[in-house]
Amino acid sequence: SSKLTQDPVVSVALGQTVRITCQGDSLRTYYASWYQQRPGQAPLLVAYGRNKRPSGIPDRLSGSFSGNTASLTIAGAQAEDEADYYCGSRDTSGNHLVFGAGTKLTVL
Amino acid sequence: HVQLQESGPTLVKPSGTLSLTCTVSADSLNTFHWNWVRQAPGKGLEWIGCLYDNAKTNYNPSLQSRVTISRDTSRDSFSLRLTSLTAADTAIYYCAREPRNSSDWELDSWGRGILVTVSS
């Protein structure tokens, strides 16, 4: 299967830590990338590979992997972290890019 | 500062053809891979296809019969052509950059997107 599965909605209290997950068979072979999308904006790459971050992304956002699951952990959640988060990775063939359906993060 | 800018018609008719252009930073077309991604209103991201630095292409199997991605090096741009449109093709279309040395297919820079509506 080439499907990446994400929880539709996740909530976190302000200042607490939250983990957003992405499951899929292809993740046993390939790393995932994570994108943050605020309302009305284009997606923004926030994590990729084995815990890599683009410049300018705070280190309280971090990626990890275990088995067929990729995770994006946000430590000390801020109001600005409220957004949709998408994982992306190669499909099981390795030849195409697929995205998860997205997780809406609410900061309470 | 990386800039990608999508342009093209924002209203197209059913059964027609969508043609979009993404203008990129000068002299970068041959040093990155370039992707198109779309997002239907209120929905998630869908990868459309990729143009590699060597001008080869790779398409989403679900769209392959209707998609063409090509480049215009003289204009520092690449284009998307999608045929046989239906209302289901109504979406925001993004162009996005992938580093040439990427092994994780990360898209590290995105355009603002252009909303294309398929309607008569």
Collapsed DSSP state (helix, strand, coil) of residue A9 = strand
Which one of B36, B45, B103 makes the best mutation probe of the A interface by having the most chain A beta carbons within 10 Å?
A: B45
Contact A21, A68 (CB under 8 A): no
Residues A8-26: pLDDT tens digits?
A: 999 999 999 999 999 999 9
Residue A86's CB: how many other CB atoms inside 10 A? 26
Q: Which residue from B47, B103, B108 is facing A45, i.e. has the nearest CB?
A: B108
Q: Looking at residue B10, what is its pLDDT?
A: 97
Contacts of A41 (CB under 8 A, 6+ apart): none
State the smallest CA–CA distance between residue B8 and chain A in angstroms: 18
DSSP state of B104: S
B60:A30 CB<8 A: no
Collapsed DSSP state (helix, strand, coil) of residue B90 = coil
B94:A43 CB<8 A: yes
Residues of B in contact with A33 (CB under 8 A): 104-107
Residues B19-74: pLDDT tens digits?
A: 999 999 877 888 899 999 999 999 999 999 999 998 899 999 999 999 999 998 77
